[in-house]
Structure 1
Amino acid sequence: MNIFEKLYLFFYLRKKKKDLKSQKKLPFPVISVGNLTVGGTGKTPFTVALACELQKRGYSPVILTRGYRGRVKAPVIVTKEMDARDVGDEPLMMAMEGLTVVKCPDRYRGGLYAIKKIGFTDRDRVVFIVDDGFQHRKLYRDVNILLVDGFKGFDKFHLIPCGPFRSPLSEISEAHMVFITKKQNEAIYQGLKEQGIKEIYFAPLKIEGVLSIDGRKIEPSGQRVFAFAGIANFQSFLTLLNDMGFKVVGYKKFIDHKKYSERALKKIFTLASEAELLVTTKKDFVKIKKFSNLPNSLCYMEISIEINSQTVDKIIDLMHNC
């Protein structure tokens, strides 16, 4: 560990100690969904899948999110009509699924806001789900869920700024359950077992399809595709498109949570002039759908995460017994 990692770890542990000392508890169960590393492990689709499963069982899930890069700082209930620039791309995606989403950097404050605004009482079966909550220790969590990317695992064991780790690898033991997402990777499973992790589950990726602007499903038949996205794991996006039966003939990669302008989109459309389809992710699409004159060739990939019923029952048992 070099000096930069040591400095990061020093301030990280100091903040952790401070947050745990002043930790607050909401009057309803709280499930945290997070990861150890920077980048996409499928937190948003996992959170959506979990919330939907809880709804089926008669619960009222409320997703608490900081709304990364969203301009609004005060607590707000996110609706699908809002602008991603105000509330963040991922909160808007979750709201578009018909879920209750509260954006607030202080998740405890956001939870209290939801209770008051919606009017929950002790009779309601409310469950708060903290999106990207593993490092957010200001709020007490009844169940701590950790996600590991099934494509990448833990390939570089270095802390920020020298690697992808936001937390030391040893903190994996703080999770009640660890889910290997996107791909059922047995090597990662065995590696976690060797670290003494007992509660390990799989949550594979499910490709719902590629949809046009008006919601029509595009059947892949070797069409030439230009792909663009601002996501953490861009290579997996390209791999999925090729595996589906599209032919990626060009692409443009942006930083995660990219904020698009008309000028940037015009450049993309020019680069994609030779392609039959222009494909992005839903996370990117929610940010550009407000622009006018979008080409008819523009499509987006819809994905989800599968959590089997028995595993959801396990989460609920932990929620009530921890």
Structure 2
Amino acid sequence: MNIFERLYLCFYLRKKKKLLNCQKKLPFPVISVGNLTVGGTGKTPFTIAFSKELKKAGYEPVILTRGYRGRLKGPVIVSEDMNAEDAGDEPLMMAMEGLKVVKGADRYAAGVYAIEKFGFDEHNKAVFILDDGFQHWKLYRDLNILLVDGYKGFGNFRLLPSGPLRSPLNEIFEANMIFITKKENETLKDKLKAYGAKEIHFAPIKIEGIKNRDGRDIQPDGKRAFAFAGIGNFQSFIDCLSKLNLKIIGQKKFIDHKRYTEKTIKKIEKLARDSELLITTKKDFVKIKDKILKPELCYLEVSLKINKKSVANIIDFLLKLKHDRA
């Protein structure tokens, strides 16, 4: 560990201790979904899929999110008719799936706000999903779900700024469940088991297809396509497109949570002038869906598959928690 990693760790542990000492607790179960690394591990599609599974089981999930780069400070309920500049790209994506989403930097305050606005009482089966919550110690969580990218794992196993780790690797033991996302990486699973992790599941990518502005399916049919995105793991996006009947004639990678200016839009249009389709991720699409782009703008729709056993384990946990609190 070099001096920069040591400095990062020093500030990290100091902040964690301070926030744990003033941790607050909501009157309903809180499940954290987060990761140890920077970059995309599929938190948003996982949170969407997980919330839908809870709804199927009769629960009322509410996603508490910081809403990175969204201008609204909150707490505020995110609706699908908002724009990404105000709500943030990922909260807007989740709201567009018909889920209850509350944005706010203080997740405890956001939870209290949600209880009041949605009128929750002891008769409701409310569950709060703490989006990107592994490092949000200000709010007590009853269950920690840790996501690990099935392509990247933990990279070089170094802390920021020398590597991708936001938290020390030994904090893997604070996770009650681990999901390897995007790819069923058995080698990574074996490494996690060797490290001491116990409950490990897979949540692989499921390609739903290509959608146009109106959400209708577009048939690839060997069309020439230009791909672009501003996400944490650009390669996984390209890998998904490579499985479709498309001819990728060009691609452009942007930084995560990219803000698309008019200048950037014109640059993309120029790069894609020989293509029939302009394909991006849904996360990027929600930020530019009202802008005019040529050729036809569309997005890749993907989801993460969460196996029935892991869902059943979480439901059992919630039932036990309710019994213990009674």
Query: Do these two structures clear the TM 0.5 threshold for a shared fold by scoring above it?
Result: yes
Q: Counterpart in 2 of 1:47?
A: 47
CA distance in 2, matches of 1:5, 1:320: 41
The one-letter amino acid paired with 1:48 is: I
CA distance in 2, matches of 1:104, 1:171: 25
CA distance in 2, matches of 1:135, 1:316: 24
Q: Counterpart in 1 of 2:308?
A: 309
Q: Counterpart in 2 of 1:97?
A: 97
The one-letter amino acid paired with 1:161 is: P
The one-letter amino acid paired with 2:26 is: L
Instruction: Please identify runs of 4+ aligned residues in structure 1 that moved more than 3 A.
Output: 319-322
1:220 CA displacement: 2.3
CA distance in 1, matches of 2:255, 2:53: 32
Calculate percent identity across the aligned residue pairs: 65
Q: State the SS of the aligned residue for 1:232.
A: coil
Query: Is the 2:159–2:167 Cα contact (8 Å) retained in structure 1?
Result: yes
1:263 CA displacement: 2.0
5 Å matches for 1:291-306? Answer: 291=291, 293-295=292-294, 297-306=296-305
CA distance in 1, matches of 2:166, 2:59: 32
1:261 CA displacement: 1.6
5 Å matches for 1:121-270? Answer: 121-270=121-270
Q: Deviations over 1:190-246 (max 9, x none)?
A: 000101111000111111101112222122232221111100111111111112221
Q: Deviations over 1:144-190 (max 9, x none)?
A: 00000111112211111111110001100100000001111100010
CA distance in 2, matches of 1:93, 1:69: 14
CA distance in 2, matches of 1:201, 1:229: 28
Query: Is the 1:143–1:319 Cα contact (8 Å) retained in structure 2?
Result: no
5+ long unaligned stretches in structure 2:
322-326
Q: Deviations over 1:55-75 (max 9, x none)?
A: 111111000000001111120
Query: Is the 1:179–1:201 Cα contact (8 Å) retained in structure 2?
Result: yes
Query: Is the 1:241–1:247 Cα contact (8 Å) retained in structure 2?
Result: no
CA distance in 1, matches of 2:294, 2:44: 27
1:24 CA displacement: 0.6
Q: Deviations over 1:92-149 (max 9, x none)?
A: 0000000000000111000000001111111100000001000001111111000001
Query: Is the 1:178–1:199 Cα contact (8 Å) retained in structure 2?
Result: yes
Query: Is the 1:213–1:296 Cα contact (8 Å) retained in structure 2?
Result: no
Range with greater deviation from structure 2 (305-314 or 112-121): 305-314
- Tell me how many residue pairs correspond in the alignment: 321
The one-letter amino acid paired with 2:53 is: E
1:320 CA displacement: 4.0
CA distance in 1, matches of 2:77, 2:295: 32
CA distance in 1, matches of 2:178, 2:123: 31
The one-letter amino acid paired with 2:79 is: T
CA distance in 2, matches of 1:276, 1:84: 26
Q: Counterpart in 2 of 1:13?
A: 13
1:37 CA displacement: 0.1
The one-letter amino acid paired with 2:87 is: V
Q: State the SS of the aligned residue for 2:51.
A: helix
CA distance in 2, matches of 1:9, 1:320: 37
Query: Is the 1:225–1:250 Cα contact (8 Å) retained in structure 2?
Result: yes
CA distance in 2, matches of 1:32, 1:321: 18
1:311 CA displacement: 1.2
Q: Counterpart in 2 of 1:86?
A: 86
Query: Is the 2:276–2:295 Cα contact (8 Å) retained in structure 1?
Result: no
CA distance in 1, matches of 2:24, 2:214: 44
CA distance in 1, matches of 2:284, 2:219: 21
1:83 CA displacement: 1.1
Query: Is the 1:142–1:319 Cα contact (8 Å) retained in structure 2?
Result: no
CA distance in 1, matches of 2:107, 2:135: 12
5+ long unaligned stretches in structure 1:
none
Query: Is the 2:223–2:247 Cα contact (8 Å) retained in structure 1?
Result: yes
Query: Is the 1:24–1:108 Cα contact (8 Å) retained in structure 2?
Result: yes
Query: Is the 1:150–1:184 Cα contact (8 Å) retained in structure 2?
Result: yes
CA distance in 1, matches of 2:252, 2:186: 32
Q: State the SS of the aligned residue for 1:153.
A: coil
Query: Is the 2:23–2:140 Cα contact (8 Å) retained in structure 1?
Result: yes
